[in-house]
Structure 1
Amino acid sequence: MTNYLLRGVSLVGGAYGETGGASFHGVNPASGETLAPAYHSASAAEVERAVQLAAAAAPDLARRSGTERAALLRAIAEELEAARSDLEALVPLETALPAARAAGELGRTVGQLRLFAGLVEEGSWVDARIDSADPQRQPLPRPDIRSLRRALGPVVVFGASNFPLAFSVAGGDTASALAAGCPVIVKAHPAHPATGERAAAAIAAAVARCGFPPGTFSLLFDAGLEVGKALVQHPAVRAVAFTGSTAGGRALMDLAAARPQPIPVFAEMGSINPVFVMPAALAARGAAIAEQLHASVLQGVGQFCTSPGLLVVPAGADGDALRDALRTRFTASSAAPMLTAGIAGRHAQGAQELGHIDGVTALVAPAQVRGCAQPNLFEVSAARFLAEPALQEEVFGPTSLIVRSDSAAQTLAVAASLQGQLTATLLADAADEAAAAPLLELLADVAGRVLMNGVPTGVEVCAAMVHGGPYPASSDARSTSVGTAAIERFARRVCYQNVPDALLPPALQQDNPLGIARLVNGVVKR
């Protein structure tokens, strides 16, 4: 199956661990087949060793230059590319995602590693600021004050189920934490353990090749919840990154807040990603909009955190035509395997509960196919949506709710009622711009990313991207888990006052030996 010998144990600081813990298997979602090998949960001793190794490595990583960290990130990308045949075989087997998706996701994974490599090699991300001493200032002299971003320390990353590469072991959280100079301990997702092990082996090989300390990276498996809890509560851990459900993210947030020394949890969680269809656009291109929305809702069997779960459509004949076109497309769409049987079961249950809410009409009869998701489409009036908070609950999978709005004022009310979202989308033509302006302003308060005339599925990895949003979309609306700003989650600002030049970090030294952009006495300079 692969060229790599899968061992089924944790990888602690570059060394393979024990086989004594509770065991579990990966499962092929398409066939239900149990996959070899058995995987073993990390022991308490392995958890402790992984954290202690990370704590020992943290000062070394924090001192490393941007050039050295960049070399590590590029080496990880190279090792992952060398493992391409293994990963492209394992991902479809463990997730039922197509081979093309595995190839594309691997490309994104190595691309974001190289993106962060370029960021830290250039170096200006530390946001160095210098306010020079002014001994003549009255009534008191001003001291020399300098500050920059500095690595937090050991970071725990929880792998995501729906992106086995790009948001998992070697994904964006790991890349951005390593770029910041933080050791990483990944709690592997049990839905794709072999993929996780193979990616971890690539990272470990790069760590050894670049001469970084063993504690730079560890991977821990778990059949349940205990390893994750132990990691979040360990006093040496400084931050947590998570992608998954609102319930899972909230549980981690509560654990972290209850510690004697609370730590940040950067959790990307639930979102229904509303799409607002404006009247002129609807009249001009309703058929194209139906095709576009259907494809977006069903992309990846609806298992994207940005899948459109809410479609706000004007009442009237044009809206009826869009609804009918969507119903035809959804009805003709077949059930497909989801990532796990548990996810499929929760999708079916969520769709069933949505259909039982007063005022909701099922446009496609909900059905359950074992291990698979049947696309579902529902409709409700805007008045009923505004009166029923349960209609804002995410149904993770290929399910969407059409909300019919009677007026521009009612559409604004729907937007104003929304909880925090990862994305919000406007489909509008030039004739819609006057009505779109106040709506856009409202949505900017609600969502981390506001789109026009596109679909929210598909998140570009670039400097300007924001993948986050107000709670419950994420735990911290000020952060992003995609794009180069993601590095800011794993650093804190440190101020140095009247410290001799020779003792300052290079980024703050007077002659700017790194040649980075700095804010010097209020002016950006290199």
Structure 2
Amino acid sequence: MAAPVWSVDPRTGKQREQVAAEATADEVDRTVRAAHAARESLADRTVRAAFLRTAADLLEEAGEQVVEAADAETALGPGRLTGELARTTYQLRSFADIVDQGAFLDILIDHADPDAGPVPRPDLRRYKVPLGVVAVYSASNFPLAFSVPGGDTASALAAGCPLVVKAHPDHPATSELCAAVLRRAAARHGLPEDVVGLVHGFEAGVALVQHPLIAAAGFTGSVRGGRALFDAAAARPTPIPFHGELGSLNPVVITEAAASERAEQIGTGLAGSVTLGVGQFCVKPGLVLAPVGDPGDRLLKSLTSAVSETAAGVLLDSRMREAFVAGVRARAALPEVESPVTPGESGEHAVSAGFLVVPAARLADGGDHGLLMEECFGPVTVVARYADPAEVSAVLGTLPGNLTATVHLGEDEAAESDGPAAALLAELTPLAGRVLVNGWPTGVAVAPAQHHGGPYPATTSTSTSVGGTAIERWLRPVVFQGTPAALLPPELRDDNPYGLPRRVNGRPEA
């Protein structure tokens, strides 16, 4: 008999209700095959765009119920979740606009030219087509924006790919509710409800990525879990793209000039970024390089005050709470590590925020202090104090890939195009997919130019999971050579019946 799936209240640790059962291998197979059979229903771009907009409308109509369910399962709070719902519906509508515009098809046409270069050029017409059924693995910390109705789902459907979502065990009731909303939206446009499938359970997640009809996967979660699925995707008889977001330290460098000019402001801002959402953001700054001396002392004083005033909070589940408490304890026990504000347990279910301080030279030495340069999920950061810029470079040189890297500069430093600040940016650029100056990484704007990804282990590919170009993960290019006009897809015909943007013989054509 399949194991039950329970909704649990993280504020009390008590089971709320049984919402489903873990999917068996046969159930995963049926769900994937049903999604595969629904592929052609998504071929019409007009219908796809309308479906996405209706999904956003229906999520908003069910907003009160969705937020209530998500809060009961995650303790993230109605305010945070209401904002996340707005972000989710915005994503759906943004991808609907992208589908309407059609630029994502990346249409290129080169007419035959017998005199083109040393080799005659045949007629070549290129565009992108959907990969097939996509597996989506929900995130624990974003029950909406990175889960069932989130960015992976919106971008996959926009590309024309049906999908099967593996629900996260921290919010199964929310997942069921949102999946039902998406299916209602599909039905309103005559689409099979199977364009959105949902399964529960660890074994179901493994079976999903191994299913021969799954064409690609998107994942947001831990390094351990993501790497296991990534390896499974690569080990298949036919390997598939696996776009995984696994973990990130998100280093921050504060120059002495920046600390001298605005130590108090930076300390307060850092505290807000570290403790936002009880430190459960993938872009939380987990390592901060700050100067020794008076400017750094003033910064730490401000950070201490702001963090001390932060209320305790509840993490997403008991496993994360135990890992946070154990992780902080192990880090705080290392030589020369101080804890001006000690993070850890607060009552039976909550945790308190804090931060650790260590000489930067200890991090550059490696050894056991390498633990301080691993992500600790929750409201804690490590402040490494450096005596000179060489120590900053030494620490940065040991870091793996990250989603973000941030630098806080002084006013004069920011105005020099070829000074130390430019050199520091050059050091940070290879480390991250998003480099920030005088800001904080928490808060990822949904915009066409956004990139939410980074070198491994931040992600397993060079793609983004946020922004319009996220659609590219679920597409592949196809070229038609010397194909008679009657046999060409309409998007590639000379008369351009859909009025799509494209490049013809190297020139843009409206």
Retained in 1: the 8 A contact 2:10–2:315?
A: yes
How far apart, CA to CA, are the structure 1 residues paired with 2:118 and 2:396?
Answer: 52
Q: How does 1:99-118 map to 2 (within 5 A)?
A: 99-118=78-97
Among 185, 203, 206, the residue aligned to 1:206: 185
Q: Structure 2: which amino acid aligns with 1:391? A: L
Question: What are the equivalent positions in structure 2 for 1:273-292 lying under 5 Å apart?
Answer: 273-292=250-269
Runs of 4+ displaced beyond 4 Å: 136-140
**Residues 111-510 of structure 1 mapped to structure 2, 5 A cutoff:** 111-137=90-116, 140-222=119-201, 225-369=202-346, 370-388=348-366, 389-433=370-414, 434-476=419-461, 478-510=462-494
1:447-466 C-alpha deviation (Å, 9 max, x unpaired): 01111111110000010000
- Cα 1:58/1:321, change in 2 over 3 Å: same
Q: 1:142 to 1:407 in 2, by over 3 A?
A: same
RMSD: 1.5
Give the residue type in structure 1 aligned to 2:364.
Answer: L
Q: Distance in 2 between matches of 1:206 and 1:238?
A: 24
Deviation string for 1:190-216 (max 9, x for gaps)?
Answer: 111111111011000011111113331
Matched position secondary structure for 2:424:
helix
Match for residue 58 of structure 1? 39
CA deviation after TM superposition for structure 1 residue 38, in Å: 4.2
> 1:389-433: CA deviations, max 9, x gaps?
332110011010001111123223322332101011111132223
Shift of 1:140: 4.2
Q: 1:137 to 1:318 in 2, by over 3 A?
A: closer
> Partners in 1 of 2:123 and 2:456 — Cα distance?
39
CA contact (8 A) 2:343 2:380 kept: no
CA distance in structure 1 between the aligned counterparts of 2:139 and 2:247, rounded to whole angstroms: 13
Tell me, what secondary structure is at the counterpart of 2:500? coil
* Other-structure match for 2:70: 91
Take 2:235 and 2:300, find their aligned partners in 1: how far apart are those partners? Answer: 47
1:367 Cα shift?
Answer: 3.1
Partner of residue 46, structure 1: 27
Q: State the secondary structure of the residue aligned to 1:443.
A: helix
Query: How many residues are paired up?
Result: 502
Deviation (angstroms), 1:136: 4.2
**Change in CA separation of 1:139 and 1:265 when aligned onto 2, cut-off 3 Å:** closer
Cα-to-partner distance string for 1:45-69 (whole Å, 9 max, x where unaligned): 22111111111122442xx232221
Q: Distance in 1 between matches of 2:19 and 2:484?
A: 56
For the Cα contact (< 8 Å) 2:364–2:391, is it kept in 1? no
Which residue, out of 14, 39, 51, partners 1:72?
51
1:523 and 1:391, CA in 2 relative to 1: closer, same or farther beyond 3 A?
Answer: same
Task: Give the TM-score normalised by structure 2.
Answer: 0.95
Q: Contact 2:289–2:384 (CA<8 Å) still a contact in 1?
A: yes
Once the two structures are TM-superposed, the CA of residue 73 in structure 1 deviates from its matched residue by: 0.5
Give the drift of 1:348. 0.9
- CA gap 1:123/1:21 in 2 versus in 1, 3 angstroms: same
Q: Contact 1:351–1:376 (CA<8 Å) still a contact in 2?
A: no
SS of 1:493's equivalent in the other structure is strand
**Which shows bigger deviation, 124-133 or 357-366?**
357-366
Residue ranges of structure 1 left out of the alignment (5+ in a row): 1-19
Q: CA deviation at 1:137?
A: 4.6
SS in 2 for 1:463: coil
Does 327-336 or 227-236 show the bigger shift? Answer: 327-336
Q: CA deviation at 1:523?
A: 1.8
TM-score of the pair, normalised by structure 1 = 0.93
Report sequence identity in percent: 46
Query: How big is the shift at 1:150?
Result: 0.9
SS of the residue 1:474 aligns to: coil
- AA aligned to 1:462 is A
Q: For 2:452, what is the secondary structure of its paired residue?
A: coil
- Amino acid across the alignment from 1:30: R
* Structure 2 gaps, min length 5: none
Residue by residue over 1:91-131, the C-alpha shift from the partner in whole angstroms, topping out at 9 and shown as x without a partner, is 11111111111111110000000000000111011111111
Q: 1:456-482: per-residue Cα shift (whole Å, max 9, x none)?
A: 100000100000000010111x20000
- 1:258-287 per-residue CA deviation (whole Å, 9 max, x = no partner) reads 111011110111111111112222111111
CA contact (8 A) 2:139 2:220 kept: yes
Out of 438-447 and 362-371, give the one that drifted further: 362-371
Take 1:246 and 1:115, find their aligned partners in 2: how far apart are those partners? 29
